[in-house]
A = this chain, B = another copy of it.
Amino acid sequence: MNIRPLTSSSVVWHHATVTRERREKLNGHKSCVLWFTGLSGAGKSTLAHAVEEHLHQRGCRTFVLDGDNVRHGLSSNLGFSEDDRRENIRRIGEAAKLMMESGVIAMTAFISPFRADRESVRNLIPHGDFLEIYCKASLETCEARDVKGLYKKARAGEIKNYTGIDSPYEAPLKPELVVETDKQSLEHSVAAVLKMLLERCVYASAYQLPR
């Protein structure tokens, strides 16, 4: 590589030479954004982390953006108003895009209830690289799980604008994948995600579907 010294006053060499394509080649797999959406309790985080474990064991670079690492960080100055929730999803979309450009299979696990917000993120990302995975489970199932105890609080009116209770969830119209987390096991859901990634040539690896 020919690097001109910066001591010249005419230097403008500045641009990136390491591209997404070179990073993918180094990693041995493609990068993309896996966008998990669904009600609270539908199993988005659980599924994303299980998919991550499998991909990592197969040598893939991965990262899961979720409430734990985003709400205390990038979105720590946002609340839960309509505007703030929209801005939260926007920032997550931009962060996932940057991670994808860095060569990582970026996964996001947020309710992201509004179709328009998810479509905005889809439009940020090159066609085919945004894969929307709808974690479908009935409100009854999610409310019965109530892992964080938030449905109970929402029913009691202690939390406002809780998705599924007093705020709508807009199911995806054309998601790349639907996993019915109240009907199939976690292992089957993981297998369905990995099958989609194999079919889309994100990575190449023999993976046995669980019997």
Using a CB–CB cutoff of 8 Å, the interface residues on chain A facing chain B are 1, 3-7, 9, 11-18, 22-23, 26-27, 43, 45-47, 49-50, 52-53, 56, 59, 61-65, 69, 73-74, 76-77, 87, 90-91, 94-95, 97-99, 101-104, 124, 141, 144-145, 147, 181-187, 189-190
Contacts and interface: CB of A to CB of B under 8 A. Distances in A.
Contacts of A147: 11-12, 14
B74 A17 contact: no
A184 B12 CA distance: 16
Nearest to A189: B6
Contacts of A17: 49, 52-53
Contacts of A189: 6
Task: Give the copy number.
Answer: 2
Contacts of A183: 7
Contact of A1 (B27, B53, B69): B53
Contacts of A18: 49, 52-53, 56, 62
A6 B187 CA distance: 9
